[in-house]
Amino acid sequence: MAAVLRRLSLVSLVCAVAGASGLLVHREGGKLRFADVQELEVNGKDKALVLGLSAVPSAATSHLPSLRLGATMIMDSAAGVPAVYAKSSPPRYLYPEGIPKNAAPPPEAWKLVQITWKKPPPDKSEATIPATNFVAYLAGGVEELAAICADADALKLIGGNQAFEAQIELTSAAVAAYGSSAAMAAVERSVEGAMRLRLERFERGIDSVASLEEGLQFARLSAQAYPAVAGQQRYRNLLAVKKTWLDRRARPHCLRGRAAVGCIPARLPRFRNPPVIVPRPGQAPPAGPQSQS
């Protein structure tokens, strides 16, 4: 525990000394918002207490070690408690300082907290939000935001059982806000890869309906964010072909079961899939229309 705290403290200290700007992700009016951050405070303090690997305190809060804010933090939506986050490391949960001695459980304590940040120069103004609107503080700024959009562990913290929905929401908001940034090139590749992966899973019969539906959600995101990118268009077209094929073959089974017209069964009937070649990155698309028989 002590070694981990020393490492986390070093990360926080480096960020503070370097004066690097982080990125705050929060909710406002039901939508995700982003804000550049020079300094971050919780309850008017630049430190928080470290609970450890669990959101449940193992000792009295008065005996918990403290950590200077500055490292990446993500709100665990399931626990209602933020945690210091680093790729490939377990999250370290935090407890706010400045809570009365009759300490509330961590989820309740964070509902009482205000998070304040100072904007980078030349603005240097301050803004405050309730901790209930806090999603994440990313010490690595926009580059880390791009990485988080494809980080399964981080997305699980943000979205809990709805990690996929959280990925779509965060990626859409990130592209809308920073799509022209060079750092977001990784997101463009990630979206294309996500469509390709879902198409491949559909072809192999792996969670076929879920894979196709997720692929179509990425396709809608792609159409808004990258309408003119050829590689993205290719996968959007292939997914659309699959959706049309599936709808046409699923409809008779829905009707026999007296279900709504156009429904998709949870388990696919044993139809022969149309032969579709899923192109790899850099590979030329198929020469002509593919069979849908």
Closest by CA to 241, choosing from 200, 269, 274, 205, is 274
Question: Within a 10 A sphere around the Cβ of 175, how many other Cβ atoms?
Answer: 22
Q: Is the pLDDT of residue 196 over 80?
A: yes
Least confident of 54-58, 150-154, 159-163, 276-280: 276-280
In this structure, the answer to whether residues 79 and 195 fall within a common structural domain is: no
Number of domains in the chain: 2
In this structure, the answer to whether residues 203 and 263 fall within a common structural domain is: yes
Average pLDDT, the chain: 84
Asked, for residue 229, whether it belongs to a domain, the answer is yes
- Across the range 244-268, mean pLDDT stands at 61
pLDDT digits (tens, 9 = 90+) for 58-116: 778 878 899 999 999 999 999 999 999 999 899 999 999 988 766 789 999 999 999 99
User: Which residues span the domain enclosing 89?
Assistant: 2-141
Percent of the chain with pLDDT over 70: 78
Gap between the Cα atoms of 175 and 283, Å rounded: 26
Gap between the Cα atoms of 152 and 163, Å rounded: 8
The whole-number pLDDT of residue 291 equals 44
- Across the range 201-219, mean pLDDT stands at 95
Residue 113 — φ and ψ, nearest 5°? -100, 145
In this structure, the answer to whether residues 120 and 21 fall within a common structural domain is: yes
The whole-number pLDDT of residue 161 equals 95
In this structure, the answer to whether residues 62 and 115 fall within a common structural domain is: yes
pLDDT digits (tens, 9 = 90+) for 7-42: 444 444 334 333 458 999 999 999 999 999 999 999
Gap between the Cα atoms of 18 and 93, Å rounded: 25
Asked, for residue 158, whether it belongs to a domain, the answer is no
